[in-house]
Chains A and B, each alone.
Chain A
Amino acid sequence: IAGITQAPTSQILAAGRRMTLRCTQDMRHNAMYWYRQDLGLGLRLIHYSNTAGTTGKGEVPDGYSVSRANTDDFPLTLASAVPSQTSVYFCASSPSGGAGGDTQYFGPGTRLTVL
């Protein structure tokens, strides 16, 4: 079934540990995105990638890094997790990254708790 997968589904992590959230899409979309969703704040963009090989910073990039080695995969890494990074993380992709009604499609999310 075409779509976006994320792993893990949920994770409890000790502060200071390194963690990589995985995201894979099989729709051959050019653009991919990482958001975090916190109660009362809505979805906030962390990083994005317009096409394989390029990345950009979103609204809340500090403490996170991404890479886009190929079209399908867009991992998000927390180098040294802190409790304020406790959140639900959504990966999304879109076909062209901006033209017209380019729609973003979301993965199922990863619930991360940092203690």
Chain B
Amino acid sequence: GQNIDQPTEMTATEGAIVQINCTYQTSGFNGLFWYQQHAGEAPTFLSYNVLDGLEEKGRFSSFLSRSKGYSYLLLKELQMKDSASYLCAVREGDYKLSFGAGTTVTVRA
């Protein structure tokens, strides 16, 4: 089993930067995913990290440190449409993903 922790809520201003942290404990780490979920909708894939370091995709970046059991998702140049829940998920072994409870980000004008 594993423990995945991320903050419950964060609020930021349009145009700003927000960093969502995720810490995990797992016995068989095989990759970390970030998903975005708008209210009432399905989660959609944002990023994947399996090696240490930073992965950048446009305004979104994700970082992983396997030795520290730590990842963060960085959202730059925040837009109102970025208001959503962000889910950290860890793959342990071959198939199963374990999800954190999610971080609700509210972007204010």
B93 within 8 A of A: yes
List residues of chain A with CB within 8 A of the CB of B102.
Answer: 42
Contact B99 A43 (CB under 8 A): yes
List residues of chain A with CB within 8 A of the CB of B101.
Answer: 40-42
When C-beta atoms are compared, the residue in chain A nearest to B89 turns out to be A43
B42 within 8 A of A: yes
**How distant is A22 from chain B, measured CB to nearest CB, in Å?**
16
Total interface residues on A, CB under 8 Å, equals 26
Total interface residues on B, CB under 8 Å, equals 23
List residues of chain A with CB within 8 A of the CB of B26.
Answer: none
Q: Using known A-B contacts A97-B95, A101-B50, determine if residue A106 contacts B100 with beta carbons closer than 8 Å.
A: no
Q: Determine which of B33, B45, B95 lies in contact with A98 in the assembled complex, contact meaning CB atoms within 8 Å.
A: B95
Q: Which residues, 43 to 74 on B, are CB-close (under 8 Å) to A?
A: 43-45, 48, 50
List residues of chain A with CB within 8 A of the CB of B45.
Answer: 103-105
B residues at A contact (CB < 8 Å):
30-31, 33, 41-45, 48, 50, 87, 89, 91, 93-102
